[in-house]
């Protein structure tokens, strides 16, 4: 048995209290914010910087081709997963899918829909938020190769359906069925689901906490 001195007990209690205050303050701050409505125009992209890096790297690779006009659109995605079972339950068995799409033609965006193909069966994903932007610098590498118009969007992915593999596809305004890649159950943070009953929709505050952690620009006051 380890006995703490009175000084250490007070220090530990103070640390717990301070941590609780920080968490409570953070929760209140998130409660005062709202998820950005779909189709919102903004001055800057909503996706985290890592998506910008991926776009620039791919644009650099494609730049070697002379006829860049053939690249009319491109898209990427990233899975934003629940960290543990309690968060999985709070999100009603969902993860979030972040999609970044760039197009040369403005009428290609926003995306018409984003969906999974699971063994030939389509599962359309519920859109939570989308932010549209336009690159004003004509010399920007991504704009020159793929276009100036961009959409960042958040969707709910129903992990509770327990699929092992799914293709991620999107429909642009002038291009349907563009495959962005695949997701597999082996990469899920919560692999075995839960024995708890799941709600029909994620808890709003839990959803905002995940968004604030992963991509806070999808929240606004």
Question: What pLDDT, on a 0 to 100 scale, did the predictor assign at position 16?
Answer: 46
Please give the angle made by the CA atoms of 50, 52 and 57, to the nearest 5 degrees.
95
The pLDDT score that the predictor gives to residue 195 is: 86
Question: What pLDDT is recorded for position 67?
Answer: 55
Could you write out the three-class secondary structure of the chain?
CCCCCHHHHHHHHHHHHHHHHHHHHHHHHHHCCEECCCCEECCCCCCCHHHHHHHHHHHHHHCCCCCHHHCCEEEEEEEECCCCHHHHHHCCCEEEEEEEEEECCHHHCCCCEEEEEECCEEEECEEEEEEEEECCCCCCHHHHHHCCEEEEEEEEEEHHHCCCEEEEEEECCCCCCEEEEEEEHHHCCCCCCCCCCCCCCCCHHHHHHHHHHHCHHHEEC
d(CA 108, CA 204): 30
Q: How far apart are CA 152 and CA 4, in angstroms?
A: 51
Bridge partners of residue 99, in order along the sequence: 77, 153
Pairing of strands 219-220, 34-35: antiparallel
| Residue 7 pLDDT | 54
CATH superfamily of domain region 34-220? Immunoglobulins (2.60.40.10)
Write down the pLDDT at residue 62: 80
pTM of this prediction?
A: 0.84
Q: What are phi and psi of 207, to 5 degrees?
A: -60, -45
Signed CA dihedral, 134, 140, 141, 144: sign only: positive
Written as tens digits, the pLDDT of the chain (221 aa) is: 444 455 555 555 554 444 444 444 445 555 689 999 999 999 999 999 999 999 999 988 887 665 545 578 999 999 999 999 999 999 999 999 999 999 999 999 999 999 999 999 999 999 999 999 999 998 898 998 899 999 999 999 999 999 999 999 999 999 999 999 999 998 888 877 888 999 999 999 999 999 999 999 999 98
């Amino acid at each position: 048995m380890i006995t703490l001195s009175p000084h250490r007990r007070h220090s530990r209690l103070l640390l717990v209290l301070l941590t609780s205050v920080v968490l409570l303050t953070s929760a209140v701050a998130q409660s005062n914010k709202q998820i950005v409505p779909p189709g919102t125009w903004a001055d800057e992209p909503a996706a985290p910087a890592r998506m910008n890096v991926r776009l620039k790297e791919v644009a650099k690779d494609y730049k070697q081709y002379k006829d860049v006009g053939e690249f009319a659109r491109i898209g990427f995605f990233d899975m934003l997963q629940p960290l543990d079972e309690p968060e999985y339950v709070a999100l009603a068995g969902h993860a979030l899918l972040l999609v970044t799409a760039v197009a040369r033609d403005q009428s290609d965006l926003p995306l018409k829909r984003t969906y999974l193909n699971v063994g030939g069966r389509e599962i359309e994903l519920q859109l939570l938020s989308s932010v549209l932007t336009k690159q004003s610098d004509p010399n920007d590498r991504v704009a020159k190769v793929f276009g100036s118009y961009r959409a960042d969007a958040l969707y709910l992915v129903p992990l509770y359906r327990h699929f092992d593999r799914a293709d991620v596809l999107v429909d642009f305004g002038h291009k349907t069925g563009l495959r962005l890649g695949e997701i597999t159950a082996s990469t899920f943070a919560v692999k075995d689901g839960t024995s708890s009953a799941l709600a029909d929709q994620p808890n709003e505050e839990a959803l905002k906490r995940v968004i604030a952690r992963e991509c806070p620009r999808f929240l606004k006051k």
